[in-house]
Amino acid sequence: MDRSEQLFEEAKKVLPGGVNSPVRAFRAVGMAPRFITRADGAYLWDEDGRKYLDYVGSWGPMILGHNHPVIREAVEKAVKDGLSFGAPTAREVEIAELMVELVPGIEMVRMVNSGTEAVMSALRLARGATGRDKLIKFEGCYHGHSDCLLVGAGSSALAGGHPTSAGVPDVVVKDTLTAQFNDLKSVETLLEQNPGQVAAVIVEPVAANMGVVGPAPGFLEGLRTLCDKYGALLIFDEVITGFRLALGGAQAYYGVKADIVTFGKIIGGGMPVGAYCASRELMEQVAPCGAVYQAGTLSGNPVAMAAGLAQLRYLKDHPEIYTQIEDYATLLAGGLREAAERTGAPVHINQVGSLLAPFFTPTDVNTFTDAKGSDVAMYARYFAGMLERGIYLAPAQFEAMFVSAAHTQEDLSRTLEAAGAVLSSLK
């Protein structure tokens, strides 16, 4: 037993499944997780001293790579001034001003502590502002673990075989309607069947919790049109896509405006942060201005804001990063497709910007149904083979692979070499 395996045995006695978040338990790939001691640039090190090339990037926040000196220094400086004040700070104003400058259509920001909280609060705002209760989400999209969104949820809610969680009363999800990603008709049908009742349509503009599935041409535009027609608000959950597809997120990348936008991950630079943002008119309905209550002891935490502000400023000053990470992801996707063809492995690669995912299916993957057609046992074998060769991928099929600014051409070559070997062994 190596040190990670030993730690996992100990962990299982005191943490459910040995972890504090389900996907980390490596259940979907049937092995013990690696316990990580440190990370730097594109690399992770485990308790057994093994080094891995990392394509998880803490599930998205580490767009600059791990332990970036600019962020580390900002955090170190902030820590010296105190960890939490429960009072306003200049940094909260600065990061909100920067987000308003960079993200299309938003005028105000409310900081929270996670993506889950951001989306939960955005929905409360949508319901409060419209006076309607129902919401439409897409099967296979994940929006955090708040009760009313644990219906047809993606990510590890899917990998765990619990599309809907126990402990969520029917009465709480009776207003959650589920449509199909990339199928506008399914949305319009629900809007027609529930006239004047749908507060919001919430979507991951790029579905990145069912593997990666991009929006079909016209899908996001169509959602915008439908929301306008039926008086529902359009919520883009940009917890993954925000500041990743572009500085302005998916709204800028696709040229489609949402009414409320949620963020997490990148805006915290690796610290626990989320945010929901919208027009002044909407955001002034939030307490203490308006009747939609939402609060947080640690919201806008000074250390977390220092990390996020440093990361967002760095991205703003280095916009070439977006071209680089997208180009590298395109190279990876191309190389993986070639390797699949060469080895005859039934793999289909989806890529949008710096996000990508392999599906073990011979067909195109444009819908959640297509994604579910992937051979997850084959993914598990692919994952194990890559890990053995020092490449750390998402330990589950229905997740994304994240390219960061720390990945190099050499890293990509090594990844493709490993993938070629692993894919040929899978046939």
List of residues contacting ligand PMP (CB under 6 A): 59, 114-116, 119, 142-144, 155, 204, 209, 237, 239-240, 264, 274
Q: Which residue is nearest to ligand PMP (CB)?
A: 115
CB of 24 vs ligand PMP, minimal distance in Å: 12
Residues that are catalytic: 142, 237, 265
**Nearest residue to 140 via CA among 389, 397, 404:** 397
- Token pair 């990844």 in the structure block, residue: 415
The H or E element spanning position 201 is strand 198-203
User: Which residue's CB is nearer to ligand PMP, number 46 or number 204?
Assistant: 204
User: Which residue's CB is nearer to ligand PMP, number 265 or number 418?
Assistant: 265
Q: CB pairs under 8 A, 24+ apart, for 75-78?
A: 75/269, 75/271, 75/303, 75/306, 75/307, 75/310, 77/306, 78/302, 78/303, 78/305, 78/306, 78/307
358-367 in b/e form (b: 16+ CB < 10 A) is bbbbeeebbb
- Token pair 């190099």 in the structure block, residue: 408
User: Which residue's CB is nearer to ligand PMP, number 199 or number 273?
Assistant: 273
User: Which residue's CB is nearer to ligand PMP, number 249 or number 420?
Assistant: 249
Coil vs helix vs strand at 420: helix
User: Which residue's CB is nearer to ligand PMP, number 99 or number 339?
Assistant: 99
For 32, which DSSP code? P
- Give the C-alpha separation, 330 to 347, whole Å: 16
CB of 304 vs ligand PMP, minimal distance in Å: 12
Our CA dihedral for 418, 421, 423, 426, rounded to 10 degrees, sits at -130
Helix, strand, coil proportions of the chain in percent (round to 5)?
A: 45, 15, 40
